[in-house]
Structure 1
């Protein structure tokens, strides 16, 4: 007797079964790699389950802060991504000592998030201590931090021991009145670009600070609007136990600040215990006390004196009734190692004083006393008109 199969195409049935199994496996993988969450409990669970390649999409709404995670680690090919699902309505992380705290992360990307009202730091990312692997390969993209503190040394973004990072298209407003918009301690190989920092000039805060052995960081195409008394603090004062590397004899080294617009601040640029930093192609408008400072705050024979700074190709527009001296020089520094070149200086209320700078070294090819002819400085537009006499200085378009 010939046995007749109940399925008219037995091979097709086998293929169908295999395809069903494959499809189920594929969808399961997709479910694992892309996860949508809509409340704090779901968010915490998703992050705790995250694996390399996980993408956590956070729905619009408000989420209570104080979120803390350790050893969240993706890979170069498969980073872990935390992202607001709708960039037009980013989720809001509210409150907490820190809105989000990541310890010892690697290959992590945060996108389209708002963090507000933290009592400590808005976003805190660190290496978890010297015994743990360093934090590396962190990307912060379109993060808005606001209303942190408001009193004391409280930072918008705090990073300690983080290497190979990118911070881009972020906005930070109103951090602690003695803190920083971005404070970096012992961070290396980083880039900060296209960010906005906004606060007040009459407080002890700083905008972007790089200290504690930080090196090889580029800050470019950012805008500072009254971002604390020191808008850009290249160096600072760090306790010896917090330096990374531990034997660093400088606060900051090989730093570049380029193509930034800096409005207000008591000192738009400060070199503090820095060993080599370049500040060039920036537009500095109406500083309230000095244009720059050269200081040494970390004391002891193990530290080099602040030295080897370069200030070139910048536009500086200042008022004589606001600026005390162009450069404030503190003790235990080496101002004679600083270089000045190709800057365009203009005293807004008394152009004849534009060349009375008293720089610590002679400037090469400086330009003095000609109005830079900004498009609309009263409304914050510092692009140069076509008739501007400025050549090879200021923010490059």
Structure 2
């Protein structure tokens, strides 16, 4: 293992070190000696899972060669990071975990979110395969960016946000696999707010390819005492193909679904649900659906929007969407809970 000092000399010691490792033994040694600002560069090859890192600031863990990422196989979790602000994970591959692929959390300090985390070029596959097991699980993070990542085959959620704020998922690919339960793709719940998911591609990504909201136990909300599963969720410029529906709005208090392309949903286009009914929680409400393209088969989609009890669909707004029942163009006009403005029906 080569060990190189990094950083600028600013009225004190150097800021961090680079650890270059090319074996599981060297990786374990590097992780035991971590300091704030360190960089761990990992050579290509297969590595065991089960790595836990806590309390290290401005840590970077990345592939030595982005074109040949190290592969972390099997085990319960590949990586678990607790209270690591400024963390960067770049160009890593994980697969075959029985619980979560990558887990990022705030160590249970629900009023102190972990800030400025970046995941880039991460590939996660074959997680679970069944049950509430996530490819990437994030609890209590703020200013989180997940960019250009690929997720295929998972049990619970492809990405699970619990109480995450001011965060972005962009340019990612989500692909479902036979034999995996895939309850939702990305999910934002437990007090999540100001989240954007954009320019992603979904193919057969489960029962709810995107879920704005969800169902969270009261002890897990961040911040504690939040009266919303999710609010101010923006879903824009994505392509969603297949899946039982495109999006489930589940107890969300304010969302936008704009500029997306939806193709061949299996049963519905949207679901409007309320799964958290605790005192003080608003009904699912205030969603804008604008400028999207929906192409579906009327033989499969008999009901465009599945509306559950205790919701407020009358607060939704539909504008300038294009709707086409490809197998029956004359039956393209959707049945919506409110009148749409500027909709186009029967044309792609």
Q: TM-score, normalised by structure 2?
A: 0.93
Report matched runs for 1:174-323 at 5 Å: 174-176=153-155, 179-200=156-177, 203=181, 205-323=183-301
In 2, distance between residues paired with 1:342 and 1:279? 12
SS in 2 for 1:230: coil
1:150 and 2:129 matched: yes
1:135 aligns with 2:119: no
Shift of 1:41: 2.6
| Residues 313-359 of structure 1 deviation map (CA, whole Å, 9 limit, x = unaligned) | 0000000011120011000001000000010101100000111x110
2:312, 2:15 → 1: CA distance? Answer: 59
Unaligned runs of 5+ in 2: 1-7
Aligned pairs for 1:52-131 within 5 A:
52-74=36-58, 80-130=59-109
Instruction: Give CA-to-partner distance per residue, 1:352-393, whole Å, 9 cap, x none.
Output: 0111x11001000001112x2xxxxxxxxxxxxxxxxxxxxx
Query: Secondary structure at the residue paired with 2:314?
Result: helix
- Residues 280-320 of structure 1: CA deviation (Å, up to 9, x unaligned): 00000010000001100001222110100111100000000
How far is the alpha carbon of 1:31 from its aligned partner? 11
Q: CA deviation at 1:46?
A: 1.7
Shift of 1:231: 0.5
For 2:335, the equivalent position in structure 1 comes to 358
**Please, which of 32, 38, 51 is the counterpart of residue 48 of structure 1?**
32
- Is this contact kept in 1: 2:15–2:36, CA < 8 A? no
Match of 1:33, SS state, is strand
Aligned partner of 1:368 in structure 2 is: 345
Runs of 4+ aligned residues of structure 1 deviating over 6 Å after TM superposition are none
Q: Shift in Å at residue 88 of structure 1?
A: 1.4
Q: What count of residue pairs does the alignment treat as equivalent? A: 337
Q: Rate the CA distance shift 1:280–1:57 in 2: closer, same or farther, 3 A.
A: same
Find the structure with the greater CA-based Rg. 1
Distance 2:37 2:224 in 1: 34
Cα distance in 2 for partners of 1:282, 1:72 equals 38
Q: TM-score scaled to structure 1, two decimals?
A: 0.82
What CA RMSD, in Å, does the superposition of the two structures yield over aligned residues? 1.8
Structure showing the higher helix proportion among its residues? 1
Matches of 2:327 and 2:33 in 1, distance apart? 61
Call closer, same or farther: CA 1:151–1:287 in 2, change over 3 Å: same
Contact kept in structure 1, 2:153 and 2:182, CA below 8 Å: no
Q: In structure 2, the residue corresponding to 1:321 is in which secondary structure? A: coil
Task: Quote the offset at 1:132 in angstroms.
Answer: 8.2
Equivalent in the alignment of 1:12: none
